[in-house]
Structure 1
């Protein structure tokens, strides 16, 4: 097919589907997304999300480290989004945002269960 964009890689599509399904106010870790998307490496998830080959508008702030953090340069925008969505937060002594993983971690329902 001349002139059409190449189809997104299957893994990128699976990652986009998992991330898009995370409800407002809830989060998954990169590790969780990797497991749900059947990927061996949480680092690959971060790379795919940063490059976003699917072109989908993904709620990137809903994917955090297992400690509930994001990179420092994402803190300000993420904090605003977390507060809009009511995501449970913890703040450290440097006022960096950390998601309260015990309260905000999303557990997807198993299809057919």
Structure 2
């Protein structure tokens, strides 16, 4: 992934408002050529101690991706008032932009 696209991805993630979420695909569509997988890779490559709200990025089906940080992600989102339904989905109105 080129550095311009990576920078675009990280800038978009930084802009996700508190209490809102967006999907890997929505972020990709806001860039100059990223794919949803590229967004996921950029998130996986974040260094320890970063301050980006990585936990506000979810799947297009409004669920958390299956990864090792999913429990922490759920907790952080719930701390911001995000509610999950019985199927583990987030309400569509919580999506940004």
Measured against the shorter chain, the TM-score band is: 0.7 to 0.9
Structure 1 contact 24–87 (Cα < 8 Å) conserved: no
Equivalent positions of 1:8-87 (< 5 A) are 9-52=3-46, 56-69=50-63, 70-87=65-82
TM-aligned CA distance change 1:49 to 1:75, over 3 Å: closer
Point out 4+ residue stretches in structure 1 off by more than 3 angstroms.
none
Mark the runs of 5 or more structure 1 residues left unpaired by the alignment: 1-7, 108-113
Which residue does the alignment assign to 1:105?
95
- How many residues of Structure 1 are paired with residues of Structure 2 in the alignment? 94
Mapped to 2, the partners of 1:76 and 1:59 lie a distance apart of 15
Structure index of larger Rg = 1
CA RMSD of aligned residues (A): 2.1
Deviation at 1:52, TM superposition (A): 2.6
Structure 1 contact 89–99 (Cα < 8 Å) conserved: yes
Mark the runs of 5 or more structure 2 residues left unpaired by the alignment: none
Deviation at 1:75, TM superposition (A): 2.5
Structure number having the greater strand percentage: 1
